[in-house]
Structure 1
Amino acid sequence: MEYLDFELPIKELEEQLDKCVIIGAESNVDVSQTCKQIEKKLAQTKKDIYKNLTAWQRVQLSRHPNRPYTLDYINAICGDTFLELHGDRNVKDDKAMIGGLGKIGDQSYMFIGQQKGYNTKTRQYRNFGMANPEGYRKALRLMKSAEKFNVPVVTIIDTPGAYPGLEAEERGQGEAIARNILEMTRLKVPIIVLIIGEGASGGALGIGVGNKVMMLENAWYSVISPENCSSILWRSWEQKEIAAEALKLTAKDSLKLKVIDSIIKEPLGGAHANREETFKTVREAIASSFNDLKNLSPEELVNDRMKKYSEMGVFKG
């Protein structure tokens, strides 16, 4: 188990509890009362820490190495019904953007999302969750296929941004993202968007236009990461905590600003603390969102989406 800086008090108490249990098992001394006291203190410490998280601490939680990624959710939700589809039919198959057909109950969905790696090798393989233009074009191809066969689309966002390399720009990164945003506004099937970790910049927006946009409690959604914002404004990453607060990137902020429609509550300690509970909650949230949208006509779905995004922000003439 890996701990973040602000979780160190929890680590100390868990280590104390482990030692207490070992002493009780290896000796004739009754330590049950001591163990109960440590457990009580541990539970209270967890509540105190996780109910008062700062914006930067939530950013840290969203990047926790044990946090489930897109394929974890899809495999847990769909089981062996998920069939991954590959390629943009133009350049190549982008490993940072995955997609395919899967079922929740008897209902089929087209799942599309960014996938990060678990270690150095897989992070390089997945390009750290940063898609190239062909990734966004693959996503669009799958969305168009879903529209053709009247299958609802579920997009899962978890990216530090679209890949900013020279080759990506040469192949039209900006155009690919802009095209996806345009096409998603007028797609004639329900689109459900789920932000599970990092939702940064155009990389997130390229698959982020939907009728229902949901966000996990410890995810973040912003035009720029706190570190990059800090490096632009203060010429260093040292002010990242101030930047995180100013960007209003937390789930609560996004809901207040009407950028998202709902927050999916995470288990105490984050999504990684109880994966099964998180997967169950997400599965129910997707099914519930589809039930709200399934009776709308294609025209109503498009109008609902257009109205939602046209009403965002404030315009003063």
Structure 2
Amino acid sequence: MSETLAATTAEPAFHIRFAHTVDRHLVHRAAVAEVFVTDARQIGDSVYLAGAQTPLSHGYYNDHLQQPALTDVLLVLEACRQAAVCAAHTFLDIPMDTSFLVNEVSVQLDHPEALRTGSDPGELQLLTEYPTVRMKADRARKVGVAQELTFNGRPVGLASMQVSALTKTEYAALRTYQRGGVAPSTREVPRPDRSAVLAPEQVGRSSRGNVVLASPAFEDGRLTAQLVPDFDNRSLFDHEYDHFPAMTLLEGARQLGLLAAYWGGRPLNRTHVSGVDAAFLRFAELDAPVVLSAEMPQGGKDTLDIVFEQSGRTVATTSIRLHEEPAGSVAGPAESAA
């Protein structure tokens, strides 16, 4: 091929492809069906652009009763996580045997109306930077991520993360030290008792398998519920874990927020979660109850501060933002990218 022809047929430097997903190992996933990132490219000095395709009929991310249907905020966050991990391995040369521990995460969708689902899968572009990469012994140890999000060509919000990076050996040693023994995995611990799980419609779901909360109670102005996810839900537990992963805790937070909206008389069929800020303080163990609690929002307040407690300790804190679509909204197709 001549240099002239090669230059003519080469893709533009910033052209992001949505034809197929990346290698599942690059985003730490066992199932190809749980991979959403389709491409990642370096477009400047320490600046990277990734693409992710959002599905229309996913058994977890599209299982919502709200109308009009919006792209799931946790799907957007999962795409952010995958894009950050993919670029870290591909461009920052962080080894594939690295375990990333999420310390803090934030996603704020300031234009949720732009996230309406249509007749075609959505195209999410994630402009990703790493403002903090702290090294020790030639390995990344602390990584900060900042992302600007565009959906079908329209800016929709921002995301950020703070993560720790450990080798597999270091991770195993840390878990053993903290527990005083080996942590059991999702294949070894007894399944959570889901006999008192919430009715799906109380948290905006249709499938019982996607409900993660049980035994709700309201006392002294606080709403509480227990975290009891289904270990067979492969969107929440894509592979074997020795703790409740961050995304499972965030699903619990989302559902407690929607339950509060439901009990508070808000129209759950039009109420979405459009923002999440979370700090993960310690591992949420699989073999002890995790209880979520929050003050019921008053006076139309749109934010809910949630505390996760286990064995008398706070393991995580989350603030979620509720967004109510206007009455009479018609679910129209999202703008299609050319």
Shared fold per TM-score greater than 0.5 = no
Higher-Rg member (1/2): 1
